[in-house]
Amino acid sequence: MHPQPDPLPTDIEARVRESFARQGLMAHLGAVMTELDPGRAVIRLPFRDALTQQHGYFHAGGTSAIADSAGGYAAFTRFPEGSSVLTVEYKINLLAPAEGAALEAVGQVIRHGRTLTICGLEVFACTEDARKLIAVGQQTLICLHGKPDTG
């Protein structure tokens, strides 16, 4: 069993949530940040037909987008005031069709450095009764020191 993380300081949580609120793509998709802890972020994407591919599953583009943002904001919780975050690279493996009432992407910091941070990514398809792992990935993010994350 993992110990509960220390709570995220309110100033860091506010900075991260304000940044997320400025993400046009996340708003366009209808994604919401549901959890935020030090080194961890969860983004939920409710199902709607506009997010599907030709077979009716969530499109891999939506799956990838929320995974990328979850990892980015997990890393951003570890970055200093006055900095910003950018993805350097990420890889995602799609394990199963993404079907359900919503997708939930979890980004978790694996290793945090002064400049580069590595995050693990998981995406789950959620129904009322179950949560199924449908994608995994890994991501490298860069901390842009001295470049505040402003709109």
> pLDDT by residue (tens digit) across 126-144?
999 999 999 999 999 999 9
The single-letter DSSP state of residue 147 is: -
CA 56, 58, 61: angle at the middle one, nearest 5? Answer: 130
Cβ–Cβ under 8 Å, residues 136 and 92: yes
Q: Which helix (H) or strand (E) holds 71?
A: helix 60-76
At position 2, the amino acid (one-letter code) is: H
Distance (Å, whole) CA 47 – CA 50 = 8
- List, for residues 78-91, the tens digit of each pLDDT value: 999 999 999 999 99
- Residue-level pLDDT at 39: 98
The residue extents of the domains of the chain are: 10-144
- Residue-level pLDDT at 5: 65
The answer, yes or no, to whether residue 151 has pLDDT greater than 90, is no
Q: Which top CATH class is 10-144?
A: alpha beta
